[in-house]
Amino acid sequence: MKLKVYSLIVTLFVVLAACSGTTDSGGEVSVGKGINAQEVFEKSIAAQEDVTSFKMMANMNQTIGSGEEEMEVTSQIESDMVMDPMAFHQMIDMKANGEVMQMESYFTKAGFFMKQGEEWMIFPDEMTDTLLTMQQTQADPSEQMNMLKEYVDEFKLTENEDTYVMTMKASGDKFQELLDKTVEEMGAQSEMLKGATEQMKVNKVEYTLTIGKDDFLTKEFQMKMDSEMTMEDETISMLMEMDSRFENYNEIEEITVPEEVLQQAKEMPGIL
């Protein structure tokens, strides 16, 4: 049971994964045409400003252990997102030790809706802002770029035929500080996450960003994280890998909540 709780907590923390830390790469740059990591970041952030919509697909693998107990969790995530006004439709298929769970969610001006099992729920207003902030940080490549740009000099930049690839290895201490700060900035509604950060220790994080040469848009974002959490005097460790891909930029015109969802949804009590 503790492993399942930790898995859900860490899944929430993945949305804050763009926070970075001190690195081992030393800012090494090895590109043939003279462009450096700073230029790639600046051009990419500028390009993201013109993005109106995109699709994100991600695979996440977690290995969670406590003593002799171990749990494998795999998740497949697919999101269609429109930026202004912000709206999205997301599907998550999760499998843990043979147990399968599917979650579907919508966010539009009509509200934040989620389906688990056969029941649709609508989140109360006090939960929506926090969950929306977390979702945007997870899925929006411009958010990831902005959070990482402070450490651009510590990325290793390499060049392929069609893409620039930037990698960084971050130590846990600085990542932990930025993680705590990010949660604090989410306000009073983040008390559950704030309490969890106090029990969680991040040992190291690795990032890989793949940027298209033709349009400077993010094509892929990979992250690896080694962390642990102490719960009731028991230490739970986790290794997590997340591989995200972005496509269909500016091709999604609108996200709408189906009428049957609007009619069936029951209000969920506040928990954050």
The string of pLDDT tens digits covering residues 160-207 is 999 999 888 877 666 666 566 555 655 544 555 566 667 778 888 888
In a domain, 235, yes or no: yes
Number of domains in the chain: 1
In a domain, 67, yes or no: yes
In a domain, 128, yes or no: yes
How far is 195 from 218, CA to CA, in rounded Å? Answer: 33
How far is 5 from 192, CA to CA, in rounded Å? Answer: 12
Please name the residue that has the structure tokens 């930049």.
157
In a domain, 272, yes or no: no
Report mean pLDDT in 10-residue bins for the chain, 272 residues.
52 42 38 70 85 92 85 90 87 86 89 88 73 51 60 80 88 63 52 64 85 92 86 83 93 95 84 46
In a domain, 135, yes or no: yes
Query: What does pTM read for this prediction?
Result: 0.76
**Residue 100 is part of a domain; what is its CATH number?**
2.50.20.20
Q: For position 48, what pLDDT does the model report?
A: 84
What b/e string do you get for 42-64 counting C-beta neighbours within 10 Å, with b at 16 or more?
ebbeebbeebebbbbebebebeb
Q: For position 262, what pLDDT does the model report?
A: 94
User: Residue 225 is part of which domain span?
Assistant: 2-267
Q: For position 54, what pLDDT does the model report?
A: 92
Alpha carbon separation from 69 to 194, 199, 234, 237 (Å, rounded):
26, 20, 12, 11
